[in-house]
A and B are shown apart, each in its own frame.
Chain A
Amino acid sequence: DAGVTQSPTHLIKTRGQQVTLRCSPKSGHDTVSWYQQALGQGPQFIFQYYEEEERQRGNFPDRFSGHQFPNYSSELNVNALLLGDSALYLCASSLVPGSNSPLHFGNGTRLTVT
């Protein structure tokens, strides 16, 4: 049973560039959430997608955008990268939306902005 898979595992970008991160949810899950985890911090909620729509968004600027495809996979896009965007980006999937549905996390994409 495949869990949540993320690609790539590591990425190095330059300030001002754009990046796309990808996520495939756990089999049977239709809801995808994205979190940013800065070094030494807990994850921070970016947004959640369900039925190809953004359901809720955290306190992140519009430079962060996403998409969910009909097969439930998802992308996170970040434009105009800043040094402060360097972090581990975690994708999590769940059976249904709603905070009582346990999240299954991928291993993350480590983004370094230089």
Chain B
Amino acid sequence: AQSVTQLDSQVPVFEEAPVELRCNYSSSVSVYLFWYVQYPNQGLQLLLKYLSGSTLVKGINGFEAEFKKSETSFHLTKPSAHMSDAAEYFCAVSAADSSYKLIFGSGTRLLVRP
């Protein structure tokens, strides 16, 4: 079985400061990894995904994440935060076999201060 831990429930940053949202996973098999963003009263939108290949993955809105297998981590980063980045961010994992389901973390709320 897989599990995801998002270590911070809230991360406050100042506008234009760098952002890092942490995600660790647990799995006995190979995994696919995802980051989704949720704005208030909306569904989830895919930011980026790691399936295979390069461990540094670039996504939309200037976000990127690095898959570190030895550390079982997939932290999300952005060089400079914008006010519009304020939202809830979810890390998700799935087994890289015939599994169809995503296992989500509990989410990290990014607070951006002017």
Contact = CB atoms under 8 A, between A and B. Distances in A.
B17 to A, nearest CB: 25
Contacts of A104: 46
B100 A56 contact: yes
Contacts of B43: 4, 90, 92, 105-108
B101 A58 contact: yes
Contacts, number: 66
B44 A41 contact: no
Interface in B68-87: none
Contact of A42 (B42, B94, B101, B104): B104
Interface SS of chain A? loop
B100 A42 contact: no
A105 B101 CA distance: 14
Contacts of A106: 43
Contacts of A43: 44, 90, 102, 104
Given A42-B90, A42-B105, A42-B107, A102 B100 contact: no
Contacts of B98: 98
Interface residues of A, number: 26
Contact of B51 (A55, A100, A103): A100
Contact of A41 (B45, B49, B95, B106): B106
Nearest to B4: A42
A102 B49 CA distance: 8
Contacts of B105: 42
B103 A100 contact: no
Given A99-B94, A99-B99, A103-B102, 12 more contacts: A4-B43, A40-B106, A40-B107, A41-B106, A43-B44, A43-B102, A44-B104, A48-B100, A99-B101, A102-B34, A103-B46, A105-B44
